[in-house]
Structure formats: structure tokens, C-alpha cells
A and B are shown apart, each in its own frame.
Chain A
Amino acid sequence: MTVARGVLERAAVAASIETVESLGAVCRVSSSDARKALVALRDSDLAVGFLVDLFGIDTGEAVDIVYHLRSFARDEELVVKVEHGYGSTLESVWDIFPAALMPERETAELFGLELAGHPNPKRLLTTDGCPPYLRKSLVVRSAEEVRDRASQHVDATSLDRTAGSLAGGFAEPGVAEPGASLDATPIPAPKPLPVPRGLKRAPSGVDIENSDRLVLNMGPQHPSTHGVLRLILELDGEEIVSGEAVIGYLHRGIEKLAESRRYSAVGTLLDRGDYVSGIHAELAFALATEKIAGIEVPRRANYLRCLLGELNRIASHITWYGPMGLDSGAMGPFLYTFRDRETILDILEDITGQRMMFNYVRPGGVVNDITTTAEAKIRAFLDEFAVHVDENDELLMGNEIFQARTQGIGVFDRETALGFGLTGACLRGSGVDWDIRRDRPYAAYDELEFDVPVAEEGDVYARCAVRLEEMRQSARMIRQCIEGLPEGEHTAKVAKVLRPPAGEAYGAVESPRGELGVHLVSDGTDSPYRMRYRPPALYALQAGEAMLPGLLIADAVVLMGSMDLILGEVDR
């Protein structure tokens, strides 16, 4: 903290620094000094070269833009807050931290700011005419509106595909509705950010009517984009000249809706964010809440969290592994691995009552204790999985065609990976030895024994190898959890309607896709004031997007498959 003060003083930046217990050092600088401060912090001996997250908080009078930075060298976190008035201009920092590219666009559109100095200042998640949803003055649909479903009128002509089609573009997407639910004092509508209308120009700016480039539109309905991702590829022959990822086809307001849910019910939304590994998102939220409220979690609950988390990690990696085979032309791995996923889902259903959407981890512990039948099922699963995982390893990783298609493709070196904010298996595939489970232990991970697989090559194959090894390590941890499960309560005594004191906290877990963080702001009421969900897949997507030029189309499919994107999490 004192180092940060010294750095900022030397750079002649006026800053107020305070230490928030559950967050670390928080610097507040003025908006004109923001870029200067960030450059100084990055280049100083603090070496905060990693942008964990960038988001906004509506304080009621202005928008606080939060830059969450991390220094791997000093193992420290630093939060820089910059106040911006409504409708003011957000100065882009993408040349300082490339990871800010997509989060900046998202923040600008959802808080109604203008974006300056950005290479692609378009809307990211919504379409033209949408109000800034994350402003506090914009209230969501009321219960009456929801109940009266028939009143929502859709003009059939607005769905005609000739009427503004390519950008998924409604000029006025349901604008009557959000407009009706605004406060009496209308928000000055922000200048609409430009949205691509038609494809007169390719992403690189070339006039495609007069060139021999071809623009190929992959998605949002495409079998190998794993959800509703849309890639606009500009091709020269079969080679990609430039590419742009268009997202937002699954933007459904998880962050906004969390502001109107009680603490125990936010998990319901988070489950549906990263929908193949719900336990991890719930856990990140629970950790943040426990930090603010000061809840001590019983040891048994911590073990159960680890147990379920690791089971869920295997299930999630299988959902990546099967389709990864499909993307590279192999149908077999999908069928073989989904046996194991069915077994895991049976176990998870036994313990939590649901196959996918658990809402099992709550602030204070877990909902219910492990069932009597689960232990035998888990042991049987571990025995057969040990055989299956080796089988899968040979089936795909040992296949020459697969190796030829993945080795040396989509290489991220160390600096690129860190610069774009990659985390998880993608970062470890590039030779950075960083795992939150080991380096910032949460739940019971400090008591478990496991290895963190790291590969140096940084290509698609390396990321696959890391994930496969992670499955083996997860199986190892599950066995330890089952054998060392301590006696005791499965949850701490927590009020039914939890009202944590006002404060801020950041809880992060190592989800199958990387660092899944929840930045929580509480104002002392029974629902969060602001909940920011750090989506690891969004950062992976923008890194993949930057890697597209120069690849062949078939390689782009494999590259995107290896980033393990879950679009529910990318769009939230």
C-alpha cells in the first residue's frame, strides 16, 4: 500500500489510498489522471501487469469504474477506482491492458458512457436503443408486468429478416417496455454506440464489394461454436484475414437481477451463468458474502464444497472434451465421455437434488449434508473413471490426426496470455504456474494434496493436455475429500434473511474455465447493491478473437474449442 502511494506520488497523480479489509488496497484517482496512474503502476516495481477485471458500480451520483489489478511478482491485489459522471467519456486503457478490450465496451453500454480511444467502440451485449441496464435508476419489470405476459406485444414486421437483420439488429428492441419502467426523471439517453449495419465493410475495414475477400458468418447458429457465439471471419481463400466475435445473444441480466434477489437466491442466477459448473459460481458468491458478513464456515462444509466442486469440474471438462473431439472430427470421444458425465450427474442429483442447477452452496455452508447413498456411488465412479480417463487420453490425445490439427495452432506466449487476462487451464497451458486453489486457497484446498499441471507450449494441444491432467487431479482430490470428511455441522448458523453490513469484497475460485470472481458490494439490505461476475470465458474469448488472423477456418474452430467457452457466462 505504501509502495503504491510512492509510485503514484512520483507520477504526480493525486490519489487517496485506503485499505479495505476484504478487498486490499483501494486507490481513488480522478478520471483525468486514470491513464497516467495505470501506466505508472504497471511500469513501476509494483509490476501490476495483470488486469483481473474492469467493471462499473453505479453509486447513485456517478459511475465508479473499477480496475482490479494484480501483481504476480509481489502476489498483491490493487483496486483502482475512477469516478465518471453519467454520460461522460470513458478513456480506453486497452493499450495499457489489452484485457480491457471487451469489458470496456460492456461497461460503456451498460452504464451509458461514451468510449474514447477504443479500436472497436461498438455495443457488445445489447442492440441499439437499449437503455443502460445497470444504472440504478432503471428498474426491472415489475411483478404485474411479468404476470401480464400477454401484454408484451411483438410487432411481426420487426421480426422480418429484411428489417435490420445482420447485427441481430432491432432498431428499437422492446424499447417501449424499459422506457415505461423508468423513473419519473428520464435518464438522458446516451448517444447510441454504432452497431454494424450489414456487411458493406469487413471487420478490417476493407470495402468487400470491391475486393476478392470473402466474409463468412459463423453463427449464432453453428454446430461448432458451442452456443450462440457469432464469428465474422474475413477470408482470403481459406485463410482468415481478420475476425470479430459478436456476443450478447444470451445476455439476460444476471448482474442486474442479482440486485433484486435475496442473498440465498442469487445462486439460482449464478448457476445459469456458467451452466456446466454451477457449484463454482455459487461458491465464489458465497465466499464474497462470507467475507463481508464475517461468517465462519464449518470444516465439514468446506470439504463438501471441495468434493462437489471437483466432481463438477470433471463433469465440466467432459463437456469440453467431447465437443472438442467433435470439432476436430472425432465422434467417439463424445459418446465415451458422456457415460462418465451421466454417472457424475447422478451423484450430484443424489446430493443436491438437481442435475445441473444446484443452488447448493449458500453463504455459511451448504444446503444439506451428504446423503448416505452418495459415498458408495462416488467410490464406484472413481474406480471406473481411473480406467476411462486413460482410455480417453489415448483415444484423442494419442491420435495422430488430432495431434497434427492441434500442435502449434493458436499459440499464446506467456506475455500475450497474461496481457489478455487469460486464467485457468489456458494460462497454465502457456507456462504460467498459477492456480487459485493452491496460491489463494479457499474452502479446504489447503488441506488437500494435488499437483497443478503446467505445459509450456501454449498451443491448443497443451491446453487439452492440461485439462486432461486436471481431471486426474480432481479424481485424486475427490478421494481425499471422501476419506477425510470431518464430522460436524454442514452449515454455520446464518440468519434466514441475511443482511451483511455495508462493504465490498472479492471472492474468487478456480472454476474449470479459470478465475471466476464475484465482486460484491453490500449496502446493508437483504439483497446485494452490486454484484459483478468476472467471467473467465469472456477473457478467453477476446484472446481467441485476437489470435484468429492468419489461421485457417478449420483451425479457428479448434482454437475456439480449446478456449472452453460457455456463452452463458460470456454474456451473463
Chain B
Amino acid sequence: MALDKLTGEHSAIFIRSEQLFDVARRKSLWYMAFGIACCAIEGLMHASGPKFDFDRMGVFFRASPRQADVMIVAGTVNWKMASTVRRLYDEMPEPKWVVAMGACACSGGPFREYPNVVMGVDKVVPVDVYIPGCPPRPESVQYGFITLMDKIKAQTGERLAAARHDGR
């Protein structure tokens, strides 16, 4: 297959297991089916619908946090919700990533003045990718995922460089 093209027939390639795992992680980012507000319609429903079809990027939804790699925070987080968001994040297995989708998850959006609203989900969980927009188009979410894939790739490189430095 693709590797054969790179290396020619009957040849062996050497790859660090770390790299191999990260290729797999990058290409199968399963997100948790966890829609909070308006963004969920665009970022989860239309994304998995027939036109945008995120499945072809390996991005697919799982109902349980135990099986998910990515949490898309799609909507406004208020104080009643915040503990649940944190709890779901804690339940996801490592390695895990968080995408803050839309203005509300990034900074509170149009509701930031209301004291019950958390001004950005990064107050509650660490965020990897911020997607602006109210709501962002599914294309933006797609771009967000591509950015996340690049980020994972870069992290692999950093980790390997660090390992080489340690002489492992």
C-alpha cells in the first residue's frame, strides 16, 4: 500500500512504535457525542451528515466518553454545566484533546455578560483548538480538526526529539 510505494517491494521499514500509534491517533479522532447548544447542530449533526461527512477523515462520534479521544465543547457552558464538562473530561482516557467550538466556548460569546455563564471553557478544561464563529460553519470545524491533527504530529516530533536528547 502507501508504505510499499515509499519503500519499494520486499523491503522493511523501521518506525518507532510511538510514531505508529500517533499516525493511528491522528487518523481516527473519535469525538464524544456531547452537544450543548446551537453549535452542536452545526458541529456534530451537520458534520456527520451527508454533505460534510466527517467519517471520511476518521472523525466519528462515540456515545461514551470512555471511547472518545476528542471532546468538542459545542456551546455555552454555565456554572451548572461546568462540573459535568469537567467530569466528562476526566472520564476520557489519555491521550485526549479538547476543541472549543464557537464564541461561547472560547470566551462566553454573546452571553458573556450574564454572571451565570463561564467566560470560556478553558477556565474548566485545557483547550487545544479554538474555533471562532457563532456558530462556526462545518468547514471551520473540519479545519479545526486538521489543525488538531497537525498539532498531534508536532507533539510526536517534540516527544521523539526529547527522547533522543535523553539518549533513550
Residue ranges of A at the interface with B (Cβ–Cβ < 8 Å): 125-127, 130-131, 133, 140-142, 146, 149, 152, 154, 159, 161, 164-165, 168-170, 173-174, 177-178, 181, 220-221, 223, 227-228, 248-254, 256-257, 260, 268-269, 272, 275-276, 319, 322-323, 334-335, 338-339, 341-342, 355-357, 567-568
A257 near B111: Cβ-Cβ < 8 Å: yes
A249 near B114: Cβ-Cβ < 8 Å: no
Complex Cα gap A568–B86 (Å): 21
Is the C-beta of B95 less than 8 angstroms from some C-beta in chain A?
no
Complex Cα gap A141–B109 (Å): 13
Is the C-beta of B154 less than 8 angstroms from some C-beta in chain A?
no
- B40-64 Cβ-contact flags toward A at 8 Å (1 or 0): 1110011001110000000000010
Contact residues in B for A567 (Cβ distance below 8 Å)? 37
- B110-132 Cβ-contact flags toward A at 8 Å (1 or 0): 11111111111001100000000
Q: Contacting chain A: which of B1-9, B10-18, B76-84, B155-163?
A: B76-84
Contact residues in A for B31 (Cβ distance below 8 Å)? none
A253 near B123: Cβ-Cβ < 8 Å: no
B75 near A174: Cβ-Cβ < 8 Å: no
Least CB separation from B82: chain A residue: A159
Write the nearest CB–CB distance from A144 to chain B, whole angstroms. 11
A133 near B42: Cβ-Cβ < 8 Å: no
Contact residues in A for B84 (Cβ distance below 8 Å)? 168, 220-221, 228, 249
Most B-side CB within 10 Å, residue of A125, A131, A221: A221
Contact residues in A for B146 (Cβ distance below 8 Å)? none
Contact residues in A for B80 (Cβ distance below 8 Å)? 125-127, 168, 170, 173, 248-249, 251
Contact residues in A for B118 (Cβ distance below 8 Å)? 152, 154, 174
Contact residues in B for A342 (Cβ distance below 8 Å)? 46, 49-51
Write the nearest CB–CB distance from B64 to chain A, whole angstroms. 9
A220 near B63: Cβ-Cβ < 8 Å: no
Secondary structure of the A contact surface, majority rule: loop
Contact residues in B for A177 (Cβ distance below 8 Å)? 115
A174 near B79: Cβ-Cβ < 8 Å: yes
A257 near B114: Cβ-Cβ < 8 Å: yes
- B82-112 Cβ-contact flags toward A at 8 Å (1 or 0): 1110111010000000000000100110111
Complex Cα gap A228–B74 (Å): 11
Contact residues in A for B149 (Cβ distance below 8 Å)? none
Write the nearest CB–CB distance from B61 to chain A, whole angstroms. 8
Complex Cα gap A384–B50 (Å): 16
Contact residues in B for A251 (Cβ distance below 8 Å)? 78, 80, 116
Complex Cα gap A133–B79 (Å): 14
Is the C-beta of B36 less than 8 angstroms from some C-beta in chain A?
yes
Nearest first, the 6 A-B pairs at minimum CB distance are A253-B114, A173-B79, A275-B38, A338-B49, A178-B115, A252-B111
Least CB separation from B36: chain A residue: A228
A256 near B119: Cβ-Cβ < 8 Å: no
Is the C-beta of B144 less than 8 angstroms from some C-beta in chain A?
no
**Known A223-B33, A257-B111, A357-B38; contact A173-B86, beta-carbon cutoff 8 A:** no
B40 near A149: Cβ-Cβ < 8 Å: no
Complex Cα gap A115–B87 (Å): 32
B111 near A338: Cβ-Cβ < 8 Å: no
A339 near B50: Cβ-Cβ < 8 Å: yes
A355 near B50: Cβ-Cβ < 8 Å: no
Least CB separation from A165: chain B residue: B83
A228 near B134: Cβ-Cβ < 8 Å: no
B65 near A141: Cβ-Cβ < 8 Å: no
Write the nearest CB–CB distance from A253 to chain B, whole angstroms. 3
Complex Cα gap A174–B50 (Å): 41
Contact residues in B for A227 (Cβ distance below 8 Å)? 35-37, 40
Complex Cα gap A356–B135 (Å): 8
Which one of B78, B114, B124 contacts A256 once the chains associate, using CB atoms below 8 Å? B114
B134 near A357: Cβ-Cβ < 8 Å: yes
A159 near B86: Cβ-Cβ < 8 Å: yes
Is the C-beta of B145 less than 8 angstroms from some C-beta in chain A?
no
Least CB separation from A261: chain B residue: B110
Complex Cα gap A252–B33 (Å): 22
Least CB separation from B81: chain A residue: A249
Complex Cα gap A174–B117 (Å): 9
B114 near A140: Cβ-Cβ < 8 Å: yes
Is the C-beta of B34 less than 8 angstroms from some C-beta in chain A?
yes
B40 near A168: Cβ-Cβ < 8 Å: no
Contact residues in A for B110 (Cβ distance below 8 Å)? 257, 268-269, 272
Is the C-beta of B137 less than 8 angstroms from some C-beta in chain A?
yes
Write the nearest CB–CB distance from B152 to chain A, whole angstroms. 24
